[in-house]
Amino acid sequence: MLDESNSMNGEMTQENASQEAKPEEMPKELSFGPLKKVYVFWLAGMSCDGCTIAVAGATNPPLENLLTGTITGLPQVILYHPVLSVEAGKEFVENFYRAERGELDAPYVVCYEGSIADESIAAATGGYWSALGSEHLGGDKHRPIPTTEWLTKLAPGAAAVIAVGTCATWGGIPAAAGNPTNAMGVMDFLGKDYRSTTGLNVINIPGCSPVGDNFTETVGMVLLFLQGIGPLPEFDELGRPAWLFNDTVHTKCVRGGYYEEGNFTTEYGGKECLVEVGCWGPVVQCNITSRGAINHMGGCMNTGGICIGCTMPGFPDKFAPFYQMPPGSAVSTNAVRGYAAVIRRLRRMTMRYQNMEARWDEDHHVPSGWGAFEKPSLANRAIHYLYQKMQYANSTRPGDVVHPESLKAKGFHTPEV
């Protein structure tokens, strides 16, 4: 714990006078060019630490590569995290004071995990919601320093402020209807006019928890920008990395083909589309189906779970009740069923013909002992005849041109290529 209340305001006291850097040691200017290191200060509000776990499991790039500075072109990340740091107590919190006083020799980034609670509510009864360190009030009295206070002090001098996870981006579950904390996201707390020292708004990486790779990849691209060797990444109108959150879950879902053919499961554990058991994937912006949860493995819909919209600003209230089919799904699924009933049958018919070797077509026999292979009906053969006429309308069908000296011309069968 830090024993000086005035140091939060940057005032000189006997306690911190000895720790003040000498004038000749103070950096004259924090230039954003080639950097050897960047400091990252991690703050936690109303959080379950799930975002920390997700980020620690990132693999592309791995968190450890950022911390060791082994990624070509990127500065080393010096992370001050209340869970992952080896320092504790006064020694740990002193780093935050140094950032507040402008004593660091490199730029710093603030990462905030968890929603921001209204500390005035807790303070009214002498309590607090989320705090980091404490200040000495005289005698044996100390006051825990709310993390919102740290955010207020550090945000103006930060090169970037990154909200990690849905609680930090949009308020998340702690901000659900009826909550007693008046919780909100970082963007709500700092306001639309906030700008970092590099002119950035709050960067939002939602998810409950977020995909760890989404965080480390975004951090890497922001660091390239700070290095002066990369462009500013593209963000959407809500501050999300556009290349990660432009598409919906449904767009790249491994079950999307079932939706398009009108195949919907009615119970959990089915392999078909999950819309009718409560999946909101068609309207939720998230890349977990294509990227996976950790190391490109897993992911909600990939493993049979429905999408409940955890990356969206409206989560959780606007996606309740969970595990019930969204009202709009009844319209879309019934419309899909209308044409899918015809298309699905036509595709199965074509599939049957594509499962036949050209030799089998000529011999009218499939030499498989695995099971009975049903021969196409007369109606199916007629439809396929018309299909092939359209298929080869602008090209020559393989085998139609036979050289006089070829084996086929001499009565032998050859592949029709």
pLDDT value of position 412: 64
pLDDT value of position 34: 82
Last residue of a domain, one of 244, 266, 282: 244
Do 80 and 176 have their domain in common? yes
Do 263 and 192 have their domain in common? no
Do 49 and 197 have their domain in common? yes
Do 376 and 315 have their domain in common? no
For residues 278-284, give the mean pLDDT: 94
Residue matched to tokens 């092939």:
388
For residues 222-245, give the mean pLDDT: 93
181-185, 324-328, 364-368, 405-409: least confident range: 405-409
Residues with Cβ within 8 Å of 111's Cβ and at least 6 positions away in sequence, in order, are 40, 41, 42, 43, 161, 162, 164
pLDDT value of position 145: 95
The CA–CA distances, whole Å, from 136 to 50, 97, 103, 117, 254 equal 31, 14, 22, 23, 56
Q: How far apart are CA 275 and CA 301, in angstroms?
A: 10
Band of pLDDT at residue 374, cut at 50, 70 and 90: confident
Which DSSP string do the residues of 373-384 spell out, in sequence order?
A: -PPPPHHHHHHH
99-103, 110-114, 331-335, 412-416: least confident range: 412-416
Domains held by the chain: number? 3
Do 260 and 389 have their domain in common? no
Highest mean pLDDT pick, 151-165, 223-237, 355-369: 151-165
Supply the mean pLDDT for the chain. 87
The answer to whether residue 161 is domain-embedded is: yes
Q: How far apart are CA 174 and CA 162, in angstroms?
A: 19
Q: How far apart are CA 1 and CA 97, in angstroms?
A: 12
Domain enclosing residue 164, as ranges: 6-244
The answer to whether residue 56 is domain-embedded is: yes
Q: What is the pLDDT of residues 140-191, one digit of tens each?
A: 888 999 999 999 999 999 999 999 999 999 999 999 999 999 999 999 999 9
pLDDT value of position 328: 84
Q: What is the pLDDT of residues 251-277, one digit of tens each?
A: 999 999 999 899 999 999 999 999 999
The answer to whether residue 1 is domain-embedded is: no
Region of residue 67 (phi > 0: left; psi between -120 and 50: alpha; otherwise: beta): alpha
315 or 85, higher pLDDT: 315
The answer to whether residue 178 is domain-embedded is: yes
Do 229 and 105 have their domain in common? yes
Last residue of a domain, one of 308, 333, 355: 355
> How many Cβ atoms sit within 10 Å of the Cβ of residue 114?
29
Do 56 and 107 have their domain in common? yes
For residues 380-399, give the mean pLDDT: 84
Do 13 and 148 have their domain in common? yes
The CA–CA distances, whole Å, from 80 to 24, 29, 113, 309, 400 equal 26, 22, 13, 31, 72
Do 18 and 162 have their domain in common? yes
**What's 296's DSSP letter?**
T
For residues 67-82, give the mean pLDDT: 94
207 or 397, higher pLDDT: 207
Do 338 and 365 have their domain in common? no
Band of pLDDT at residue 6, cut at 50, 70 and 90: very low
Do 158 and 236 have their domain in common? yes
Query: Any idea what the CATH number is for the domain that residue 205 is in?
Result: 3.40.50.700
Band of pLDDT at residue 411, cut at 50, 70 and 90: low
DSSP helix/strand/coil, 183: coil
The answer to whether residue 211 is domain-embedded is: yes
Last residue of a domain, one of 355, 376, 391: 355
Residues with Cβ within 8 Å of 386's Cβ and at least 6 positions away in sequence, in order, are none
pLDDT value of position 332: 87
pLDDT value of position 384: 84
Residue 397 has pLDDT above 90, yes or no: no
Residue 135 has pLDDT above 70, yes or no: yes
pLDDT value of position 413: 59
Q: How many contiguous H segments (helices) and E segments (strands) does the chain have?
A: 15, 7
Do 120 and 240 have their domain in common? yes
Q: How far apart are CA 326 and CA 302, in angstroms?
A: 20
Band of pLDDT at residue 409, cut at 50, 70 and 90: low
Residue 414 has pLDDT above 90, yes or no: no
Query: Any idea what the CATH number is for the domain that residue 292 is in?
Result: 4.10.480.10
The answer to whether residue 361 is domain-embedded is: yes
